[in-house]
């Protein structure tokens, strides 16, 4: 018996039938599988702006396949709007709220299956966490990336061009009037941002996990194919319900290995590590197991795709070159091919149906001739980060894969940005931004603007930035994030002083603070954690319950 049937039986549940009928549903509607559509649509987020239209197509597909769709709203915040201000503290914590909201709606109403609509940075991970937690038929469908704007600085512009342009204005390289004109053109339409940041990374990883239909991640928002795949998604979710193919059959250790492989092969966002750890937790897989998988797979996966910020090509170019199915075809010998997907077929079966088109080998290369022999994500360990930290070799110039510099220490994002724009940072500096971790931030803000300002000031290739916070998927230059334990919990990053020497060594997977153990002990003596910045509201709760970044920075219940 389907879940919805059990709460719609007559006569005991006539009340429930009356609830549906008061909204116009018929007896025939209530005989069919009841399929939820969790829609993160809003007029605040470009990646969510088209989801009303996408939902309509999903509904048509559900009806055509013999199901009854029921749509409900879910929150979804914009990382872009929140960058560089207090709003960013709420972005990562929103991921757990999204997962909880979907769980509550699905379980309270005993829905038979769920289509999850979302495109952006923390929205997609939150939806994936819900799918893994609920263990019922589920498909995630993004709204698709936006197209690029006019060429600027030798590549198609995008919304981050405006942040880079701000640094250029401060450095006297760009007129303010030109920057203001670009506001009208860098984001030419809706969709998730046109570069390979966290939003599109997570959509790609959803497809890699098998919880999104093939090609579903990267079809641009404005393409007619986006409407067609939405209809197909509606049809497929009904099939999954009838076949009893549930999300836990799809999101498991093997499919997560495929996702880690894809993350590395495409040089995706460092945030992908944080989010896959969180999804794995919902699937019952220990974070230490996942960390070892990241380390092993990262060193055995060639980088076969390069997209902005690692190259001049954007998401539309990536899609038109074959997108995620083409990358997975190149990776086929390295993948777990027997994993079930939402097509009702395995990864291997799906790849047999892939038809190679015009592949741009400047975007997607083969296993035999990759961009590099190791992947786009690396986990570093050392006396500065005993629990590990994350960097992105694919977005760092090869000559900077080993970088030693002197520390300039800042206890917040804002003070670091002021120093950068004020000309206080010099070549050879390692900018240290601390007390921005899950608890200390709280909310583990992205150091997006700081990196963009370094780029705009001409310092991207002569400095490094390390933090217990995070980075945007569009950042490049030498950077290391997620340093764990964080400063607020007494991690070594709390005891760095101006002038200390720090080495980032990506090939050796090490990050080193060049002071003795005795010196660190002396500095740590008498350490008193700072008082929480928030003591009420959701951030007050999150700062108390947030796990370390090494465990996904999830809200963690403790005994």
Q: Among all residues, which ones are annotated catalytic? A: 472
Handedness of CA 255, 258, 264, 269 (dihedral sign): negative
State CA 163 to chain mean position distance: 20
- 3-state DSSP helix/strand/coil % of the chain, to nearest 5: 45, 15, 40
- Calculate the CA dihedral of residues 379, 380, 385, 390 and round it to 10 degrees: -40
Give the count of alpha carbons within 13 A of 84, CB side only. 15
Residue in 324, 270, 339 with CA at minimum distance from that of residue 298: 270
What are the φ/ψ torsions at residue 330 (nearest 5 degrees)? -65, -35
Residue in 353, 327, 350, 319 with CA at minimum distance from that of residue 337: 350
Distance CA 154, CA 162 (A): 15
DSSP letters along 484-535, please?
A: ES-GGGT-GGGG--TT-EEEEETTTTEEEE-S-HHHHHHHHTT--PPPPS--
Residue in 220, 246, 232 with CA at minimum distance from that of residue 112: 246
Residue in 91, 157, 98, 156 with CA at minimum distance from that of residue 132: 98
Find the helix or strand (DSSP H, E) in which 456 lies: helix 448-456
What are the φ/ψ torsions at residue 476 (nearest 5 degrees)? -140, 175
| Parallel, antiparallel or unpaired: strands 34-39 and 68-73 | parallel
The Cα-based distances of 266 to 18, 148, 332, 500 in angstroms read 51, 19, 14, 34
Contact 473, 268 (CB under 8 A): yes
Distance CA 304, CA 364 (A): 6
- Supply the angle between the helices 287-300 and 271-282 in degrees, to the nearest 10: 140
Strands (E), 377-471: 378-382, 385-391, 402-410, 429-433, 464-467
Contact 32, 23 (CB under 8 A): no
């Amino acid at each position: 018996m389907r879940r919805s049937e059990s709460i719609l039986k007559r006569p005991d549940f006539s009340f429930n039938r009356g609830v549906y009928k008061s909204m116009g549903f018929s007896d025939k509607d209530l005989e069919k599988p009841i399929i939820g559509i969790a829609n993160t649509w809003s007029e605040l987020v470009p990646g969510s702006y088209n989801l009303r239209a996408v939902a309509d197509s999903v509904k048509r597909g559900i009806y055509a396949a013999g199901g009854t769709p029921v749509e409900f709203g879910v929150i979804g915040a914009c990382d872009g709007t929140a960058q560089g201000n207090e709003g960013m503290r709420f972005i990562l914590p929103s991921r757990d709220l999204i997962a909880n909201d979907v769980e509550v709606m699905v379980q309270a109403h005993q829905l038979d299956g769920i289509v999850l609509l979302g495109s952006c940075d923390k929205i997609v991970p939150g939806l994936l966490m819900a799918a893994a937690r609920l263990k019922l038929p589920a498909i995630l469908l993004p709204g698709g990336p936006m197209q690029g704007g006019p060429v600027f600085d030798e590549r198609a512009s995008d919304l981050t061009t405006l942040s880079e342009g701000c640094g250029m204005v401060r450095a006297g390289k760009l007129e303010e009037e030109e920057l203001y004109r670009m506001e009208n053109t860098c984001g030419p339409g809706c969709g998730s941002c046109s570069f390979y940041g966290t939003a599109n990374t997570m959509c790609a990883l959803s497809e890699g996990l098998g919880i999104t239909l093939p090609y579903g991640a990267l079809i641009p928002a404005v393409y007619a194919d986006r409407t067609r795949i939405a209809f197909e998604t509606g049809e497929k979710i009904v099939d999954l319900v009838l076949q009893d193919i549930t999300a836990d059959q799809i999101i498991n250790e093997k499919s997560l290995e495929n996702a880690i492989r894809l993350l590395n092969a495409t040089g995706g966002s460092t945030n992908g590590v944080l989010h896959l750890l969180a999804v794995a937790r919902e699937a019952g897989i220990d974070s230490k197991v996942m960390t070892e998988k990241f380390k092993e797979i990262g060193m055995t996966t060639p980088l076969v795709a390069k997209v902005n910020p690692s190259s001049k090509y954007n998401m539309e170019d990536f899609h038109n070159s074959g997108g995620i199915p083409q990358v997975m075809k190149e990776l086929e010998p390295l993948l777990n091919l027997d994993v079930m997907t939402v097509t009702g077929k395995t990864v291997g079966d799906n790849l047999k149906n892939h038809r190679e088109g015009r592949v741009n080998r400047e975007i997607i290369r083969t296993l035999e001739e990759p961009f590099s022999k190791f992947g786009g994500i690396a986990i570093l360990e050392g006396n500065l980060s005993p629990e590990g930290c994350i960097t992105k070799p694919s977005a760092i110039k090869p000559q900077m894969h080993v970088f030693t510099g002197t520390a300039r220490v800042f206890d917040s994002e804002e003070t670091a940005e002021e120093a950068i724009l004020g000309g206080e940072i010099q070549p050879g500096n390692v900018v240290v931004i601390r007390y921005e971790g899950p608890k200390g931030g709280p909310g583990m803000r992205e150091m997006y603007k700081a990196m963009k300002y370094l780029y705009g000031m001409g310092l991207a290739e002569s400095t490094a930035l390390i933090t217990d916070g995070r980075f945007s998927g569009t950042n490049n230059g030498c950077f290391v994030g997620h340093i764990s334990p964080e400063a607020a919990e007494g991690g070594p990053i709390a005891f760095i002083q101006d002038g200390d020497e720090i080495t980032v060594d990506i090939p050796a997977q090490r990050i080193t603070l060049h002071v003795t153990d005795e010196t660190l002990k002396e500095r740590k003596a008498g350490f008193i954690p700072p008082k929480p910045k928030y003591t009420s509201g959701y951030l007050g709760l999150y700062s108390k319950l947030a796990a370390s970044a090494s465990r996904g920075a999830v809200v963690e219940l403790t005994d």
